[in-house]
């Protein structure tokens, strides 16, 4: 690639039919990226496909081991490779939120499966494609969507917070280990957003106090663009 | 030799038979593979991911059950309706060795196959009742979804358990275009790649749509390998040029890499980036213009894979390799032990005499740098 840019970037986003994921799909398409998105529900995927025919919709559940390779095959088949993976799909754990003492083990397991093991599996199976992107000088990036609940101990957010803490730390270690392959892994907290997930967690929240997913998506796209520019500078100085 | 019966990509006791540039044979643990790599070498692997290419369904004109194994294609990632060469079997599954499976129904062009959610039309019968060209009657997105969800990896009768898709993807797997696993790549994991770099060598990839390797039907197998599309990234082509300028060796991981690189070099005189379709059958008559060493699996004589080894080794050495592998119980097939063949020593090549190394290496045909159009080698 002569000039690295969002345009032409091959991006895959999980949880792409609502909230931050959908806002990201829209914004990245607007900037000329090739985008594949994943969601569990076929109806939601069809709805977004109708709204955004250039996006590649994939039905799949990242918390299910059996779905990971079918998701990856469709992503790589549609995009022909991968430069950016956004692990955005998340599970709250118990709904409504519950203190850990009242959290069913199965709800904790679901949060871990969706928020930690799923992103781990998907990242791992896509590492070959990401490393190929790096060898082509395309500065591949994995963005794991985290939360301030990964850092702070909010009562009631035990399953979610613990799983996001694990994802956050996983991201940091991936990032150290994949440096040599030229793959960057970051974990970011987009802030409290007005999303279906937030509404499930805090049904009586004052929505006017919440960030819009579109604003958060704009910040994330700016961050991806900055990463690409920085990588390009590194590549140029290495020449 | 005995088939490896468990789908473990990197068994800790895997063995590596090493043939050096003089034809001398040694035996090593496969985990020591990076020790064979020298500073300045370039290791090139095939990063094709394996498709779930086995599709069960019904031949609608007769209502009979069939298994269709996608076996090859002309384009890497189709943009229009996807067409594949396929091998068809009658009812039964992988527990029955393919040579004992009933024949599929007689196909006519225009027959429709219902393969789970996918409809495919027989476009052509290709010179053998089992070998057909099919076209999926769906958009590309629907075809990918149908393959991803309904397809299963091609199974092997010698394995105890059914193969899952994750058993067939190498750690470096990227574009899903291989019909069977580029299994030489099982030797690699990220630590091995790091160890290659730590030795001062480089690592690169090509993408080659590895076709079906055998069908159990001798007449069909005689037609293998089918034409295979490949993609050579610009970054890989430029690393090859740099490596050769500095007299490093090009080490291919897998026969598919040999086929792609040698096909590209035979066409253009050197390896350039871009896509191509490998029609070259590498055999004893093929001069090796690019590849200096090969790491691959252990395979039985009478396979196209084994024939390819004749480009690297003369019959005397190849027979010794087979005898030693038998005597030491090397395991064959996709999940078996490995073979490393160097036809040139590491370090500066002698001017004007490139690939052969010492005459004792016994390669059948040696290239001469004077003849190559672009002056490379």
Task: State how many domains chain A has.
Answer: 1
Q: In angstroms, how far is CA A77 from the centroid of its own chain?
A: 19
Mean pLDDT across the stretch B104-113? Answer: 96
Which of A160, A161, A166, A221 is labelled catalytic?
A160
SS3 at position B22: coil
A160 is catalytic: yes
Whether residue B344 has pLDDT greater than 50: yes
Q: What pLDDT is stored for residue B50 in this prediction?
A: 97
Specify whether domain B2-50+162-371 bears CATH 3.40.1780.10. yes
- Give me the residue spans of the domains in chain B: 2-50+162-371, 54-150
Q: What pLDDT is stored for residue A4 in this prediction?
A: 57
Residue A24 contacts residue A49 (beta carbons within 8 Å): no
- Indicate whether A17 belongs to any domain: yes
Mean pLDDT across the stretch A11-23? Answer: 98
Q: Give the closest residue to B264 by CA, choosing from B232, B287, B296.
A: B232
Q: How far apart are CA B122 and CA B107, in angstroms?
A: 8
pLDDT range class, residue A28, cuts 50, 70, 90: very high
- Indicate whether A4 belongs to any domain: no
**Taken in order A91, A95, A98, A100, is the CA torsion positive or negative?**
negative
- Indicate whether A216 belongs to any domain: yes
Q: Which among A71, A132, A180 is the nearest to B205, CB-wise?
A: A132
- Indicate whether A2 belongs to any domain: no
CATH number at residue A209: 3.40.50.720
Tell me B229's DSSP state: E
Residue of A69, A133, A181 best to disrupt the B interface, most CBs of B under 10 A = A69
Q: What is the pLDDT of residues B230-248, one digit of tens each?
A: 999 999 999 999 999 999 9
Residue contact A128–B171, C-beta within 8 A = yes
Joined together, the tokens standing for residue B203 give 């690592």
Q: What pLDDT is stored for residue B354 in this prediction?
A: 41
Q: Which domain holds residue A112?
A: 10-238
Residue A12 contacts residue A82 (beta carbons within 8 Å): yes
Q: How far apart are CA B322 and CA B300, in angstroms?
A: 9
Tell me B179's DSSP state: S
Chain B's closest residue to A65, CA to CA, is B166
Q: What pLDDT is stored for residue A239 in this prediction?
A: 64
Chain A's closest residue to B176, CA to CA, is A73
pLDDT range class, residue B156, cuts 50, 70, 90: confident
Q: Give the closest residue to B67 by CA, choosing from B84, B82, B95, B86.
A: B86
Residue B196 contacts residue B165 (beta carbons within 8 Å): no
What ipTM does this complex have?
0.94
Tell me B33's DSSP state: G
Q: What is the pLDDT of residues B193-244, one digit of tens each?
A: 999 999 999 999 999 999 887 787 888 888 888 899 999 999 999 999 999 9
Please indicate whether the domains covering B2-50+162-371 and B54-150 agree at the CATH topology level: no
Share of chain B above pLDDT 70, in %: 92
| Strands, E assignment, chain B | 2-3, 15-19, 25-29, 42-46, 49-50, 54-59, 64-72, 83-89, 112-115, 118-128, 131-136, 176-178, 202-208, 228-232, 250-253, 274-278, 293-297, 331-332, 338-342
- Indicate whether A1 belongs to any domain: no
Whether residue B350 has pLDDT greater than 60: no
Q: What is the pLDDT of residues A135-187, one digit of tens each?
A: 999 999 999 999 999 999 999 999 999 999 999 999 999 999 999 999 999 99
In order, the DSSP letters of A176-233 are: HHHGGGT-EEEEE---SB-SHHHHHH-TT--GGGSBPHHHHHHHHHHHHHHHHHHHHH
Q: Provide the β-strand partners of residue B54.
A: B69, B152
- Indicate whether A87 belongs to any domain: yes
Q: Please state the pTM of the whole predicted model.
A: 0.92
In chain B, what residues touch A1 (CB-CB under 8 Å)? none
Superfamily name and number for B54-150 = QueA-like (2.40.10.240)
Q: What pLDDT is stored for residue B347 in this prediction?
A: 65
Residue B133 contacts residue B103 (beta carbons within 8 Å): no
In order, the DSSP letters of A111-169 are: HHIIIIIHHHHHHHHHHHHHHHHHHTT---EEEEE--GGGTS--TT-HHHHHHHHHHHH
- Indicate whether A3 belongs to any domain: no
Residue contact B166–A80, C-beta within 8 A = no
- Indicate whether A125 belongs to any domain: yes
Q: What is the pLDDT of residues A120-133, one digit of tens each?
A: 999 999 999 999 99
Whether residue B294 has pLDDT greater than 70: yes
Q: How far apart are CA B254 and CA B91, in angstroms?
A: 32
H or E element in which residue A94 lies: none
B78 touches chain A (CB under 8 A): no
Q: How far apart are CA B133 and CA B153, in angstroms?
A: 19
Q: How far apart are CA B251 and CA B342, in angstroms?
A: 8
């Amino acid at each position: 690639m002569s000039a690295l840019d969002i345009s032409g970037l091959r991006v895959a986003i999980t949880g792409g039919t609502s909230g931050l994921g959908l806002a990201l799909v829209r914004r990245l398409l607007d900037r000329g990226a090739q985008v594949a998105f994943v969601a569990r529900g076929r109806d939601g995927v069809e709805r977004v496909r109708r709204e955004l025919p250039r996006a590649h919709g994939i039905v799949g559940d990242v918390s299910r081991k059996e779905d990971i390779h079918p998701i990856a095959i469709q992503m790589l088949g549609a995009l022909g490779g991968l430069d950016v993976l956004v692990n955005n799909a998340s599970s709250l754990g118990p709904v409504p939120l519950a203190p850990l003492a009242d959290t069913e083990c199965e709800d904790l397991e679901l949060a871990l499966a969706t928020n930690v093991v799923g992103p781990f599996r998907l990242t791992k199976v896509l590492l070959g494609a990401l490393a190929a992107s790096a060898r082509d000088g395309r500065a591949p990036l994995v963005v794991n969507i985290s939360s301030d609940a990964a850092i702070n101990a909010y009562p009631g957010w035990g399953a979610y917070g613990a799983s996001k803490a694990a994802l956050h730390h996983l991201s940091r270690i991936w990032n150290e280990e994949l440096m040599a392959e030229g793959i960057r892994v970051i974990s970011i907290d987009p802030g409290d957003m007005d999303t279906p997930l937030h509404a499930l967690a805090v049904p009586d929240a004052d929505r006017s106090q919440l960030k819009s997913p579109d604003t958060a998506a704009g910040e994330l796209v700016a961050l991806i663009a900055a990463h690409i520019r920085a990588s390009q500078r590194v590549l140029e100085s290495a020449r | 030799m005995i088939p490896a019966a468990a789908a473990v990509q990197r068994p800790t006791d895997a063995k590596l038979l090493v043939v050096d540039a003089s034809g001398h044979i040694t035996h090593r643990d496969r985990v020591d593979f990076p020790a064979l790599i020298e500073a300045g070498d370039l290791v090139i692997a095939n990063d094709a991911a394996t498709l779930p290419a086995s599709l069960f369904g019904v031949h609608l004109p007769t209502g009979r059950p069939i298994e269709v194994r996608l076996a090859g294609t002309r384009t890497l990632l189709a943009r229009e309706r996807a067409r594949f060469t396929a091998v068809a079997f009658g009812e039964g599954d992988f527990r029955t060795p393919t040579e004992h499976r009933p024949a599929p129904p007689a196909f006519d062009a225009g027959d429709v196959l219902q393969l789970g959610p996918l409809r495919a039309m027989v476009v052509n019968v290709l010179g053998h009742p089992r070998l057909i060209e099919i076209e999926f009657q769906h958009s590309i997105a629907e075809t990918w979804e149908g393959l991803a969800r309904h397809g299963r990896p091609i199974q092997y009768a010698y394995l105890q358990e059914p193969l899952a898709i994750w058993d067939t993807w190498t750690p470096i797997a990227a574009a899903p275009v291989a019909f069977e696993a580029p299994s030489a790549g099982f030797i690699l994991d990220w630590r091995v790649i790091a160890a290659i770099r730590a030795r001062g060598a480089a690592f690169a990839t090509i993408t080659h749509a590895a076709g079906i390797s055998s069908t159990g039907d001798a007449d069909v197998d005689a037609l293998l390998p089918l034409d295979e599309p490949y993609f050579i990234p610009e970054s890989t082509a430029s690393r090859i040029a740099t490596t050769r300028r500095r007299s490093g060796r090009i080490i291919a991981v897998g026969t598919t890499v040999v086929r792609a690189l040698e096909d590209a070099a035979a066409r253009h005189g050197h390896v350039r980036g871009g896509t191509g379709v490998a029609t070259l059958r590498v055999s004893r008559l093929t001069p090796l213009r690019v590849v200096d060493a090969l790491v691959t699996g252990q395979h039985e004589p009478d396979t196209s894979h084994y024939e390819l080894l004749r480009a690297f080794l003369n019959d005397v050495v190849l027979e010794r390799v087979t005898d030693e592998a038998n005597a030491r119980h090397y395991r064959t097939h996709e999940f078996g032990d490995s073979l490393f063949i160097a036809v040139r020593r590491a370090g500066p090549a002698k001017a004007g005499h490139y690939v052969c190394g010492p005459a004792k290496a016994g390669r059948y045909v040696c290239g001469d740098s004077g003849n190559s159009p672009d002056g490379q080698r």
